[in-house]
Amino acid sequence: MSSELRRNLFLTVKEALHNVVKHAGASKVHTELGFSGHVLRMAIADNGKGFDEKKIKSWGNGLTNMRKRMDESGGSFDVITGNSHGTKIKVEVSLGNKSNSH
């Protein structure tokens, strides 16, 4: 794993957990980390209040930055949320990709 990918993953997890603490009002957070071949899959889910993605864009750059980091790493970034339904962040990135093996 390249140092750039490691940094992007770290900052994505840090931002996701920061959002849970600062915004979600959650009482539980569940994290998953797994590998399938050379693909790393990660999920962070909370039981908080969720949000309306259309309204969140005016609040800050956290989700945009997480998505950009995963795009730069050749990975994917998904958000599943809704008012009063909690939030789940899903990240998937190949560790075998030539651009990640510097």
And the tokens for 1? 């794993």
HSE toward the beta carbon, residue 22, CA cutoff 13 A? 9
In the chain, where are the structural domains located? Answer: 3-97
Q: Looking at the whole model, is its pTM more than 0.85?
A: no
Q: What is the mean pLDDT of each run of 10 residues along the chain (102 residues)?
A: 92 93 92 94 94 66 89 94 88 74 42
User: How far is it, in rounded angstroms, from Cα 33 to Cα 30?
Assistant: 10
Q: Name the class of domain 3-97.
A: alpha beta
